[in-house]
Every structure is written in structure tokens, then in C-alpha cells.
Chains A and B, each alone.
Chain A
Amino acid sequence: MSSEYAVELSGVGKRFQRMADRRNTLKERLVRGRSRNSQDFWAVRGVDLQIPTGSVYGLIGHNGSGKSTLLKLITGIYRPTEGQITTEGRVAALIELGAGFHPDMTGRENIRLNGSILGLSKSEIEAAMETIIDFSGLREFIDDPVKYYSSGMYVRLGFSVAVHMRPDVLLVDEVLAVGDEEFQRKCFDHLYTLRREGRTIIVVSHGLGQLEGLCDEVAWLDHGEVQDIGPPTDTIASYLQRVNAAEAMAGAVAAAARGDDTMRAGTGVIRCTAARLVDRGGTHLQHAETGRTFGIEVDMHCYEEILGPNLRFAFQHESGALVTMMSNHRHGFDFGYISGEKTATANLTNNPLLPGRYRVHIDLFDYTGSVLIDNWDDALEFTVRSERGEIGQGFVELPYTYTIR
């Protein structure tokens, strides 16, 4: 392990045949002949990557961008159609944990088998055995057949085996999202340990926040081509910019006009007619961003003059949880007498919502707070993103400070 780069790809491309065009039986092959190449597509093409020895390298990109194909090329499962790949030392992949496990065999037997498949000698496996069992935390069950394991236990054993095989290059594909919180922590700690030992780690993940903390360098793939390579913060930021722009192009407007709905509840003295997301200047927004002030505007049509109604917004997270409720009464803001066409705006200063998808339900009560005037469920649905790439742990970012004594 003296060379500068653990993995080097130059001009790597991989072409696949579309499944629909493949001859899967001899008869088809004989009757229809060789398939033409017109149906081929390039999963990755023209990829140049130099992954320094001892670094943690991240790969990002949307689904189908070629990340996993690239990992399979590096492990040697796929051969590149064009270009060159050179790797230094033993490459181990966490592409799917426990892929080689046999359900009828015990945990211990599976460790032995998996170790052999990953290229270890018998003595190396036996030397690592106790460490693996301890790390997995499955000592109690290690001599039971793995078919009795829960899926979490399965993954824990798989991870333990793979990382203790002392790979020079470790490929991690989306597997950090499994296992309970404690085990995930353990995995991360172990990845940091491997990094300290000078081993090279290549991580594919959608957890941009995770990558930002872990990686030395990140490459962004799109349609099988490298879009950007650089420090994690920069690459992730340019990736998110593209994602956000794409969403805007797709016309996912976070605004809604209300159709005529005779079934709606409330007295109907006021009807909410439209709602939308706006920025400080009143421009429509397609999505909100964590930490950036935005507003929700509601158009109201008042059939009579009315005194001090209470306009409420309930925020529901995509997980179904009610995040919070905003109310002008609770906030001590009085609309006074209103009539005709009115537009009310609720401003969320330094938007504390973390990235995710949210729904807004709107209702309107009279000044006593006991008589429902109008009710509009699912008035808006919008996405909160983060330019800084942090990942949502929960729903909101609380205002806080730290001190130390």
C-alpha cells in the first residue's frame, strides 16, 4: 500500500443490454438471432476518478445515476466496457450485507464461509472470529442458524464480517441506514477507526449529512457521468442546487387555489380561496429552505365584515406527525375588522423546519375561538430542503446556544 491512489479509474464506461432485449432462452436466441446493439445503454461513461489511499470518498447522485454500477466495477463484479480500473490491495464490498449467508448455517459457520469468499485464509478468519462476534453483539445466538435471526441481526453480522476482514479498500453502499441507532453509531465509529488505520473507504449514500461529516472528497454522478468532484460541502451544495432547480422546472409549485367545495365545514362567513409559499419579497416559492425566512399567504373572501378571526395553520410532517400549529390569537395578533378580499401572511422567521415534506391544514375561527368559520385540510404540501445538506433528524431546528463552564 505504498501507491498514492488506492483506486484509479480512467475513462471507465459500462454498457448494458436492456433486459427486454436479452435472449433468455436458446429458442429465442435461435429464432431471433443475435440482438442488435441499438438497445444498449451506458450506465456509466467517461468516468475518471482518483481515490487517494487512506481517504474516505463519497459518491452522490439520484437513483439510477450509476453509483452502484461504479461500485460493482471497482469490486470487479462487472468488467468495464471501456477504460481502465486499477485497485491496490484487497477490496471488500458492503454492497448487500450478508449476501453470502446461508440460512441453514449457524452464525459462526457463516462467518467462516463469508470470510473465505472475501478471500481470507482459515487462520485469518479464526483470528478475527472473536472480534467479529463481539462487534456484532450476537454472541448468544452465534451458534444458531441465521434463518432464526431478525433482519437487523442479519445485517449486523454481515457488517461485522465485512469490516473485520481488514480490507484495504472498503466499499459501502447505502447500508449505513440499517440497524438500530446504537449499531449505526458503532458502524460509524468503526469506519472512522478504519480511516485512522489508513484504509480507503468509498461510501455511496443519500444521507448527505452523513457524507459531509465523514468524507474527504465527494464525487457527484448524474446519468453515469461525473458532474463535480471536490470537498464534500462544495459538491453537495452544487448537487442540491441542481436538485432544487430540477424540482422547480418540474413545476412542483407549492401553491394551491381552492376549488368550489359546497361540503366544507364552518359558517362560511369567510372562505379561504388560495394559499401559497412566498419569500420575504412576496415572490412565489417552490420549496422552503431550512434557516431561510419564508411566508405562507392565504387569500380570503369575506362575505360580511367580521371582527378579529383566528387563522390557524397546522403543520403535518410526511411521517404523519403534527409538528406545530400557528395561530394569530396565540401570537397576540389581532386582524381587527376585516371585509372583502384580504390576504393574510404568516411569516416563519429563519424557517426552523428541517428537510422533509410537510402539509399545511388551515382553519379559521371567530374571535371567541369557538365557532368554526372555515376549514381547509391539505391546503398546501411543500418540501423543505437544505442548501447546507444537513439531514433531518426530527422535524425542527430549535433555537439554541451552548455554554461550557
Chain B
Amino acid sequence: MKRPRLPAMLQDLYRQRALVWAFANRDFATRYRSSLLGWAWSLLQPLVTLLVYAAVFSLVFRIQAPPLGSDPDRTSFAAFLFTGMVTFNLFSGLLMLSMTQLKSNGELLRKVHFPAWTPILGASVVQLIQVALELLVLIAMFMWLGNIGISWLLAVPILIATALFGQGIGLMLSVVNARYGDVQYIVQAVLQALYFLTPILYPLSLVEGTANWLANIVKANPLTWFVEAMHQVMYLLVTPDWWVIPGLLLFGFLTFWAGFTIFNRTSEDIGELL
């Protein structure tokens, strides 16, 4: 049994980079090969969600977004909402995709011996392209609003931390899901709940004025930390406290390390589980 040694993990990741890349290439080539506008379609779902949510929550529920960093007199609920959505989708997309990868590569894993996490990371690489597209739309939105700042650069480490966090949880749960197929449905339900327990559709200040227990849950939700940091650097154009981003990176990295270690321990018999 492998000990959870950090150099060993980094070495593994480096040694298998070609295989991860090969799986990424496969998924990239096949994901939208049959439709010319494939990548454009992949944006359709988040954009429609954005439109509907923006309309319902700002017009019906009259939720006010905080003032834009560039101009305290203006707000944009859509931009605020989309900032949170992109961050959350990065997490949930990697998590859900990772969980199903072992099953969809089962044929291969039953017959050839290779590190089982490579197709998972390969799929995640492709998922990151999707996130990058959403990010481009977000940037375009902010540029149109004239809400531009140097703090944007801090979005990069925050998103890296978010990705590591999602991937770590995904690795932890993927073997369990290969063993018990119903785990993914539970996770799906939990994610849905988390979506509303993260300040995506409302500013964090709004929940602070409600029941104490609810505010505590929202604040204890790790995704709140990531989403709030993104709101700060992208929407409010402020720099978070100095410890926030290193803290998120450390948290994301530790989750990934734990996920990778747990995965390697639990996936040793994957060839017969599938």
C-alpha cells in the first residue's frame, strides 16, 4: 500500500502526463465532434440558466447585487450571479465528471492495467476548456460594464484552488461511485442544495440578516469561501485579506492530495469492481 507521500504523487502526475494528455485528446476530439458548433452549444446551458435566474431573482425576488467596484452607483445582478456560477460550475463540473469516469472507461480498465486516475484527469482537462469559455463570457460582461481592475489577476489562483478542491473531492468519491452506483445521485442532490447555500444568487450580506443557523451553514460551506473571493476580485475589484488566497490554495491542494491518496488506495481492485 502506498504511503501518502507528496513527492510520490508529484512524480506520478509528471510521469503519466502523456497518458493524461492522450485521454484529454480523446475526450476533446469526441465530445463535440459530431456537431460543428459544439463548444458554442456547451455555453448555451449556463447562459440560459443565467438569463432565467437573473430575471427571476432580480425582478421577482428583487435581490440587489452589491455596487460594482468601478462605479458605486451601478450594480449588475447578472454579472454578480455569473461570477458565482462560473466558480461553482468549475467545482461541480469537475466533481460530477470525475465521478462517472471510471464507469465510462470500465471496458478499458477491466482489460488493461494503467493508472485509473489518468482518464479522470484527462476528462477534467477538457472540462477546464469549458470553464475557460464561461470565463471569457464573464470577462466580456465585465468589460462591457466597464468594471475592470488589476485584481482580476487574483482570479487565477482562486480558480486553480477551486479546481483542485473539486478534483480532490471527485477523486475521493469516484471509486465509491464505481462500487455503489447510487452515490452520484446523492452527490447531485447535495450539490443542488449547496448551490443555494452558497452566495451565488444572493450576496452574503443578505443571509447574514436571516436566521443565525442558516448564516452559519452558508459561511461554513467551503464553496462560499471560493465564491466570495471571486466576487471580491472580479466584481468588487478589491484584494481579499492577504491570507485568503494562500489559504484557499492550501485548502484546495490538501483536498487534492487527500483525494489522490484515497483514490490510489481504494482503486487497487478497480479491474474487478467495474
Pair A77/B112 contact, Cβ less than 8 Å: yes
Nearest B residue to A92 via CB reads: B112
Pair A75/B113 contact, Cβ less than 8 Å: yes
- Cα–Cα, bound, A240→B33 (Å): 53
- Contact residues, A259-280 vs B (CB, 8 A): none
Stretch in contact with the other chain, from A45-53, A94-102, A243-251, A337-345:
A94-102
- Contact residues, A24-63 vs B (CB, 8 A): 24-27, 29
- Contact residues, A58-97 vs B (CB, 8 A): 72, 75-79, 91, 93, 95-96
Pair A99/B107 contact, Cβ less than 8 Å: yes
Interface residue? B73 (CB, 8 A): no
| Residues of the A chain whose Cβ atoms lie less than 8 Å from the Cβ of B19 | 116-117, 119
Pair A24/B181 contact, Cβ less than 8 Å: yes
Interface residue? A348 (CB, 8 A): no
With A23-B180, A24-B180: A104-B33 Cβ-Cβ less than 8 Å:
yes
Pair A72/B271 contact, Cβ less than 8 Å: yes
| Residues of the A chain whose Cβ atoms lie less than 8 Å from the Cβ of B241 | none
- Contact residues, A12-30 vs B (CB, 8 A): 16, 23-27, 29
Interface residue? A122 (CB, 8 A): yes
- Contact residues, B1-43 vs A (CB, 8 A): 18-19, 21-23, 25-26, 29-30, 33-34
Interface residue? B208 (CB, 8 A): no
Pair B22/A112 contact, Cβ less than 8 Å: yes
Pair B108/A117 contact, Cβ less than 8 Å: yes
- Cα–Cα, bound, A81→B181 (Å): 25
- Contact residues, A99-117 vs B (CB, 8 A): 99-100, 102, 104-105, 109, 112-113, 116-117
Pair B112/A75 contact, Cβ less than 8 Å: yes
Q: Nearest Cβ in chain A — how far from B252, in angstroms?
A: 27
The one of A25, A77, A91 in contact with B271, judged by C-beta atoms closer than 8 angstroms, is A77
Pair B113/A105 contact, Cβ less than 8 Å: no
| Residues of the B chain whose Cβ atoms lie less than 8 Å from the Cβ of A109 | 25-26, 29
Q: Nearest Cβ in chain A — how far from B182, in angstroms?
A: 5
Pair B269/A79 contact, Cβ less than 8 Å: yes
Pair A26/B114 contact, Cβ less than 8 Å: no
| Residues of the A chain whose Cβ atoms lie less than 8 Å from the Cβ of B30 | 102, 104-105
| Residues of the A chain whose Cβ atoms lie less than 8 Å from the Cβ of B26 | 102, 105, 109, 113
Query: Would you list 12 pairs from A and B whose C-beta atoms are within 8 A, ordered by A residue?
Result: A24-B180, A25-B182, A27-B182, A72-B271, A79-B269, A93-B111, A99-B107, A105-B26, A105-B30, A116-B21, A117-B114, A118-B114
State the A residues within 8 Å of B (CB): 16, 23-27, 29, 72, 75-79, 91, 93, 95-96, 99-100, 102, 104-105, 109, 112-113, 116-119, 121-122
State the B residues within 8 Å of A (CB): 18-19, 21-23, 25-26, 29-30, 33-34, 107-114, 180-183, 186, 268-269, 271-272
Q: A109-B26, A113-B22 are in contact. List 6 more A-B contacts (CB 8 A).
A: A24-B181, A100-B112, A112-B22, A113-B23, A113-B25, A116-B19
